[in-house]
Amino acid sequence: MRVVLVPKNRLMLIAGLVWCAAGAMVCLIGLPLEFRLAPSHLVLFPLAVGIFLAFYLFVFSRLVRKHTGRIRERAEDRLPFWHFFNASSWAVMAVMMGGGMALRFSHLMPDWMIAFFYSGLGVALFLCGVRFLGIFARKDVLALAPERVSSDA
């Protein structure tokens, strides 16, 4: 079997597209519920903003920096296309997706909880996907890693 290798910068494009798609899918679940329930549950909008800020600032933005740095520091110019995530991130993604589907299909969480949580989470995912696309557009991962620069001098 032949492994598809892509330039490091294209990993940012793949990551951006995957994160934007995941964010859009989560938004498609949460936002319709949010707008349907919001007139009678005004607290849902501030709760969604709180979830967005928590995930965007403290989880996903850090992951964007971590994955960009990890890819930038690799010595190879081309990597397998799935290397936009490391193994632990693939595992976390699988657990989050599986757990989210299990909670929704089991009806253990009421719609109002899914509405604000998925709305905030989906927008945070989508915007971090946009950040990956910005990194791709600026070709930021093509810069030499600091230790490679000092060893070449």
- The pLDDT tens digits of the residues spanning 115-137 come to 999 999 999 999 999 999 999 99
Contact in structure between 48 and 122 (CB atoms under 8 Å): no
**What residue type is assigned to position 87 of the chain?**
A
Which among 123, 133, 153 has a CA at the least distance from the CA of 29?
123
Alpha-carbon distance of 28 to 41, in angstroms, equals 19
- pTM of the predicted structure, to 2 decimals: 0.86
Rounded distance, CA 124 to CA 56, Å? Answer: 5
Residues 6+ apart with CB under 8 A from 21: 129
pLDDT at residue 143, as a whole number: 59
Q: Which residues pair with 6 in a beta bridge?
A: 79
How would you write the pLDDT of the chain (153 residues) with one tens digit per residue? 888 899 999 999 999 999 999 999 999 999 999 999 988 888 999 999 999 999 999 999 999 999 999 998 988 889 998 888 888 888 988 998 999 999 889 999 999 999 999 999 999 999 999 999 999 999 877 755 555 444 444
pLDDT value for 20: 97
Residue whose pair of structure tokens reads 């490679």 in the numeric block: 148
